[in-house]
């Protein structure tokens, strides 16, 4: 049983897999990503495949784009030396964010067993279009600021962090999955430390309905329809749709329909490790990563790691601690006439 990060880059991950397979079979190796043990993450499969109204809409004909956010309020918390050799991209993207990506993007598996589930998830990563490190990816590093009532020092002022560190604490990227279901649908991923609010969520925004019916009314735009899966700390699902504002004229606003795990089941959030350790003891690898997805994940981000190492001219903007990240990340979506879902209300 091995905890992430599994390797430091693609070559080290491949080398580690080869070393492990010299002493154990693949079905004896359990690579842990604790996100996969969370109830809200496992619920993605149930939401998609146990509800007849969801899957018919889950494709490029009805979905405009997908956002995946893993925002943390913590900084490096005294782990400056180890974190500075890792950074946000290595720490979060090929494991946590890509696991969420595969659950959203995968095809229905033939069975709910480990082999079928992991095969479909691997197909998603193999279909990821190669990223342009300069156009499709934004990195950042937090500066001084405040999170609530707490003053936060700049990353380069943290203990054991070099004063000229080029390590990113934030990364955002635009990805494409080149297959029949998702052709033309962008996936926007972001993660960062020292942000204004702790939140992990997935937002699936649907295509806008035609405005034609309302052309003779004061309605200038329709509120977006989106389905948001709240992974942590809030656990649940919300759906936003348009409603008429009471009054003599037709005015439309967005309203949320919410499901909460704590309200429905009086369930307390868990880290996910309890489930994973139990499954490992039972020999069930459904919620663990095989070598194929590990290496496919590293393969998708390896060009970014290489570009950052080879070209010091790639910007590393500083963002204020307690904010939403660098403005360059907003521009990544603005180019497509879209914007991030706000994490600070």
Catalytic positions, written as ranges: 96
For residues 289-324, b (16+ Cβ closer than 10 Å) or e, as one string? bbbbbbbbbbbbbbbbbeebeeeeebebbbbbbbbb
- In angstroms, what CA-CA distances link 156 with 69, 162, 311, 342? 24, 6, 21, 27
* Token pair listed for 121: 């998830």
Q: Rounded distance, CA 162 to CA 80, Å? A: 9
HEC letters along 254-305: EEEEEEEHHHHHCCCCCCCHHHHHHHHHHCCCCCCECHHHHHHHHHHHHHHH
Other CB atoms within a 10 A radius of the CB of residue 254 amount to 13
Q: Rounded distance, CA 215 to CA 229, Å? A: 33
Among 152, 156, 157, 158, which residue's Cα sits nearest to residue 167? 156
- 345's CB contacts (< 8 A; 6+ apart) are none
Q: Rounded distance, CA 46 to CA 40, Å? A: 10
């Amino acid at each position: 049983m091995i905890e992430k990060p599994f390797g430091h880059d693609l070559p080290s991950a491949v080398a580690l897999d080869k070393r492990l397979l010299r002493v154990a079979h693949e079905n004896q190796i359990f690579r842990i990503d604790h996100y996969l043990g969370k109830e809200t993450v496992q619920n993605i499969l149930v939401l998609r495949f146990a509800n007849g109204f969801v899957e018919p809409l889950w494709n490029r004909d009805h979905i405009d784009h997908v956002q995946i956010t893993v925002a943390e309020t913590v900084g490096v918390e005294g782990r400056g030396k180890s974190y500075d050799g890792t950074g946000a991209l290595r720490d979060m993207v090929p494991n946590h964010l890509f696991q969420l990506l595969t659950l959203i993007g995968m095809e229905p598996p033939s069975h709910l067993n480990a082999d079928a589930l992991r095969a479909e998830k691997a197909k998603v990563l193999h279909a990821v279009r190669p990223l342009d490190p300069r156009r499709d990816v934004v990195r950042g590093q937090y500066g001084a600021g405040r999170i609530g009532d707490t003053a936060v020092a700049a990353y380069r002022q943290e203990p054991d962090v070099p004063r000229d560190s080029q390590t990113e604490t934030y990364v955002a990227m635009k990805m494409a999955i080149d297959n029949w279901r998702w052709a033309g649908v962008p996936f926007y991923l972001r993660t960062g430390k020292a942000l204004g609010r702790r939140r992990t969520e997935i937002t699936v925004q649907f295509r806008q309905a035609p405005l034609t019916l309302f052309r003779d009314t004061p309605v200038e735009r329709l509120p977006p329809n989106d389905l948001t899966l709240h992974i942590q700390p809030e656990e649940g699902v919300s759906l936003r749709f348009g409603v008429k504002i009471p009054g003599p004229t037709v005015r439309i606003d967005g309203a949320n329909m919410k499901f909460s795990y704590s309200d429905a089941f009086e369930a307390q959030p868990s880290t996910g490790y309890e489930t994973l350790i139990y499954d490992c003891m039972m020999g069930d690898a459904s919620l663990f990563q095989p070598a194929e997805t590990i290496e496919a994940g590293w393969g998708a981000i390896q060009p970014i790691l290489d570009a950052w190492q080879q070209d010091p001219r790639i910007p590393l903007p500083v963002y204020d601690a307690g904010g939403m990240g660098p403005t360059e990340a907003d521009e990544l979506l603005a180019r497509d006439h879209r914007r991030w879902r706000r994490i600070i209300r």
